[in-house]
Structure 1
Amino acid sequence: MNRRFVLRAAGASLLLPMLEAMLPRRGEADESKFQPWERCDVKHPRLICCYIPNGVNIAEWVPKDAGESYTLSPTLQALAGIRDEFTVLSGLGHPQSEGGHSGADTWLTGANLKSKPGSDYTNSISVDQIIAAAHAKATRYPSLQLSDLSGTGSAGHSHTLSFDRNGTPLPSENSPRRLFERLFVPENAADRAAALRRYTQRRSILDEISAEAKALDKKLGTDDKKKLDEYYTSVRETEQLVGRLQGWIDVPKPKVPETNLGLNMQPANAHDRPMWLDVMLQLSYLSFVTDTTRVITFEWSREAGGFGGGGENHHELSHHDGSPEKLKKLAEIDKFHLGRLERFVKLLAATQEAESRMLDRTMIVFGSGMNSGTGTGDHSPKNLPLLLAGGKALGLKHGRHLAFDPDKHPPLSNALLTLLQKAGVETEKFSDASGTLQGLV
């Protein structure tokens, strides 16, 4: 039944509430007719990080054996068709994290949010933003932030996975149509003139702020000077961003038709949910194939939220208290998410890029910043569910399960440091990494 079904009689109408008959049936999301492009004309490393909240049914997720000949777990059977395109990582975690519903805040930073005395929340730069800075000059957008809730959210319940060098969250977009228009709809003359006026005004304000900051610096103590320097660094980065935007104003946007894109899908609607995930991933694919950006973070739902393919309450099920029924439903949501991931991987694999496939230069990180556990459903930052896909042409090896001892708590930052290097960033350090991750390359 259509979710907009209306009862009409004698000139009056009544919009029905959400009924079970309006929820999507299994396979309804197969209606997408979006087709991948034949070729990608650019040849560069890319990164997309896809986050699922609330952890997973870890007992059904982690394979029982390790190595190249491992047996897919019951949940990961959903990815049997692309087994050779991904690696399962288990036993990794964030030693500095306290777990709970701040998992998304620290997933790509590895930060200790309470590291600063007197502050309840202090984050650090996320791995995607380091890669974005390295590739920023070549693309219209250094990075994109996507989520099912727009904006930044609140500390510990962020609507974004991306944080700048000062630990400031970068706002996310949740509307497929707004995202499509931002990326691919050309501006007319009036739009361009208005944009240039905004950029000029921002530059004027930034110039004034810079002058005031320099004058103030002479009057401050050591700690305040440090704070002001962080602020001034943000001002300089904003200046650079405004300059980049001005430089792209006369560069035409890629011509991308909206054919077969469900741009009106809504993330919080139970009927739309599978198709909303698909279209946001399709727009991510189009952003990559047109080289509009090379770095994307996508929070599929914020912590303490989320839905299954039929509108199930993901967060409620993650507090399963060991209930077999809830754990079964949680595993079904995990498989639903993996089904969306598989579609995205196949889009990238179907597009030729130079001598290989687009997938082979696109690194995909998929997982969660918490472990819902096998007991009562506690939200631990240990033994995080994690998959890495793509990037074979960059040196990543797949078709294996890399199992680490969760009690020794190897840092997830080791894997993130490896991806930093494969994306072309020359560094030996990231967050609390003790080195690159053995077995991934």
Structure 2
Amino acid sequence: MNQHHFSRRTFLHGLGVSMALPWMESLRVWGDETNSSKVASQAPIRLCVTFSGNGFHSKEWWAKGEGRNMELGQVLQPLADFREKLVFVRGLYHEEARKGNIHSSQTGNMLSGAPIASGGEIRSGTSFDQVIAQTYGRSTKVPSMVLACETSNPSVHKNYSMLYSSHISWSSPTTPTPLELYPALAFDRLFKDASSPEDKSVLDAVLADAQDLRRKISTGDKQKLDEYLDSVREIETRIANAGKRGELQGWRPTLDKPNMARPADGIPQDIAEHMRLMIDILVLGFQTDTTRVATLKLNNDHSALRFPNLASVEQPGHGIDYMIHHLLSHSDKTDWLKVNQFFMEQLAYMAWKLDAIQEGPRTLLDNTMLMHCSSMMAGALHNNDQLPVILLGGAGGQLKGGRVLDYTGKSDRQLSRLFLSMMDQFNVRLKTFGDARTRLEEV
């Protein structure tokens, strides 16, 4: 693990505001100021875990072959351009998740493999993203970002708390990491100090410092700085417009229009915009090295999201908002496949964003280990004897893409073996994790 240190050169400053800079050749952005070397330090590795609930189409989640010739099932088609940076993992699962009920006990230990408590007790295990955040993540302003696009569910389902099905990141066995659903607050956490006024533009606050910096960097870095500042301005504008569109996500309200004025700085009411705005903020957090660890829960297991933005095949002339996500998952109809592909389109959007950012000889995607997972293989079957898992990115050159890793029919199929191997990439080396005692040598 690179031991990166903070310095005044790492940030742009303004009144009550700190904005971390992207990687630049002219500056040792992640380097130690006391180091006399003129060579910029290597960009750090980032971890991102994304999750979508209720599994996928039972016949269309598959991959075979390798490299650019890898063939993908219809669910994964949106990721076709990234098949050479994709690792399809088949056959791993959590034994503890097969005990108890469906949904809650299948999700509450998604990133830990720990036993789940039933009844009124809330107990799982510290998730591997938070294990990384508590060590590797301390090098950044924000040790980890835990983002979501659907609120948590506090009810109980078949003797298990639905909080399990609403959280994949756990700071301790009894503490699910708080979710951030509001783009404005996620953005503020990246850039604003506690004392900053809420209505102050982050970009406006640091413009003077940015102009001073431009005089000290190379021509290429000036262009990179300008592109970065433009992206910050775009996100600020989109946050200001959040919630002004007409589509509604989640449960369908009983009124066509709200009967009260919508609060400022709310959640976008278009689920596609909400997801992409969260992705943009996540990428910005990685790009600025404000955080190196992030999870994004696109929806819950047992999800209530609806998708009026997607044209229905089953009900021509309508959007896919006639049924909530959870109930839709109980079939393998074409509309379910379209929803699956919609989630993969968000992952592809993130990959494109990451891959467009150059960090020395690699892209930000090359310096990221991105895992997407779900709590079951197929919603129609609620089966979790093997779980859908893919990896994207290069982990700083340590992860080779364009492969299918198939563990079906083998012993030691613990998904936590993958987590042990992933933690190794961040110099977090544990002897055991969850029910795993050995690593996956292929990762």
For normalisation by structure 1, the TM-score amounts to 0.68
What aligned pairs does 1:142-161 form with structure 2 within 5 A after superposition?
Answer: 142-150=143-151, 153=154, 155-158=161-164, 159-161=166-168
2:179 aligned with 1:176: no
Q: Which residue pairs with 2:53 in the alignment?
A: 53
Q: Is the 8 A contact 1:39 1:351 kept in 2?
A: no
Q: Which residue pairs with 1:314 in the alignment?
A: 325
Q: Which residue pairs with 1:164 in the alignment?
A: 171
Question: Which segments of 5 or more consecutive residues in structure 2 lack a partner in the other structure?
Answer: 1-20, 31-42, 156-160, 199-227, 251-268, 311-319
Change (3 A) 1:303 1:95: same
Distance 2:285 2:86 in 1: 22
Distance apart, 1:75 and its partner CA: 2.1
Q: Is the 8 A contact 1:105 1:161 kept in 2?
A: yes
Question: Which segments of 5 or more consecutive residues in structure 1 lack a partner in the other structure?
Answer: 1-36, 192-253, 321-325
The residue type equivalent to 1:411 in the other structure is: Q
2:279 aligned with 1:281: yes
- CA displacement, residues 387-432 of structure 1 (integer Å, 9 cap, x when unaligned): 1011342411111111221685711111111110012212232111
Q: Is the 8 A contact 1:145 1:160 kept in 2?
A: no
Q: Which residue pairs with 1:123 in the alignment?
A: 124
Distance 2:436 2:423 in 1: 12
Distance apart, 1:84 and its partner CA: 0.9
Q: Is the 8 A contact 2:45 2:395 kept in 1?
A: no
Distance 1:96 1:425 in 2: 23
2:363 aligned with 1:357: yes
2:262 aligned with 1:262: no
Change (3 A) 1:384 1:140: same
The residue type equivalent to 1:143 in the other structure is: S
Q: Is the 8 A contact 2:146 2:294 kept in 1?
A: yes
Change (3 A) 1:189 1:419: closer
* Greater displacement, 139-148 / 304-313: 304-313
Distance apart, 1:46 and its partner CA: 1.1
Distance 2:110 2:248 in 1: 23
Q: Which residue pairs with 1:241 in the alignment?
A: none
Distance 1:151 1:258 in 2: 30
What aligned pairs does 1:420-439 form with structure 2 within 5 A after superposition?
Answer: 420-439=423-442
The residue type equivalent to 1:317 in the other structure is: L
The residue type equivalent to 1:75 in the other structure is: V
* Greater displacement, 262-271 / 358-367: 262-271
Q: Which residue pairs with 2:134 in the alignment?
A: 133
The residue type equivalent to 1:97 in the other structure is: A
Distance 2:194 2:126 in 1: 33
Q: Is the 8 A contact 1:161 1:298 kept in 2?
A: no
Aligned partner of 1:110 among 105, 108, 113: 113
The residue type equivalent to 1:131 in the other structure is: I
Distance apart, 1:352 and its partner CA: 1.2
Change (3 A) 1:105 1:85: same
Look up the SS of the partner of 2:179 in the other structure: coil
Look up the SS of the partner of 1:61 in the other structure: coil
The residue type equivalent to 1:269 in the other structure is: Q
Distance 1:268 1:419 in 2: 37
What aligned pairs does 1:57-76 form with structure 2 within 5 A after superposition?
Answer: 57-63=57-63, 65-68=64-67, 69-76=69-76
Q: Which residue pairs with 2:77 in the alignment?
A: 77
Look up the SS of the partner of 2:170 in the other structure: coil
The residue type equivalent to 1:141 in the other structure is: V
- CA displacement, residues 65-99 of structure 1 (integer Å, 9 cap, x when unaligned): 45555422222222111111111111111111136
2:326 aligned with 1:345: no
Distance apart, 1:293 and its partner CA: 1.2
Distance 1:413 1:327 in 2: 32
Change (3 A) 1:386 1:190: closer
Look up the SS of the partner of 1:145 in the other structure: strand
The residue type equivalent to 1:307 in the other structure is: R
Cα RMSD, aligned residues only:
2.8
Look up the SS of the partner of 1:302 in the other structure: coil
Aligned partner of 1:101 among 90, 100, 103: 103
Look up the SS of the partner of 1:360 in the other structure: coil
- CA displacement, residues 200-254 of structure 1 (integer Å, 9 cap, x when unaligned): xxxxxxxxxxxxxxxxxxxxxxxxxxxxxxxxxxxxxxxxxxxxxxxxxxxxxx9
Aligned partner of 1:296 among 294, 297, 300: 294
- CA displacement, residues 313-337 of structure 1 (integer Å, 9 cap, x when unaligned): 22111112xxxxx432211111111
Equivalent pairs counted in the alignment come to 331
The residue type equivalent to 1:147 in the other structure is: A
Q: Which residue pairs with 1:220 in the alignment?
A: none
Q: Is the 8 A contact 1:96 1:112 kept in 2?
A: yes
More helix by share: 1
Change (3 A) 1:70 1:153: same
- CA displacement, residues 152-203 of structure 1 (integer Å, 9 cap, x when unaligned): 8463444332112333111101111222123224555789xxxxxxxxxxxx
For normalisation by structure 2, the TM-score amounts to 0.68
* Greater displacement, 132-141 / 329-338: 132-141
Look up the SS of the partner of 2:405 in the other structure: strand
Change (3 A) 1:58 1:144: same
Change (3 A) 1:371 1:423: same
The residue type equivalent to 2:238 in the other structure is: G
Change (3 A) 1:407 1:418: closer
Change (3 A) 1:353 1:303: same
Change (3 A) 1:175 1:268: farther
Q: Which residue pairs with 1:219 in the alignment?
A: none
Change (3 A) 1:107 1:189: closer
Distance 1:293 1:317 in 2: 35
Change (3 A) 1:303 1:101: same
Structure with higher Rg: it is: 1
2:348 aligned with 1:372: no
Q: Is the 8 A contact 2:56 2:75 kept in 1?
A: no
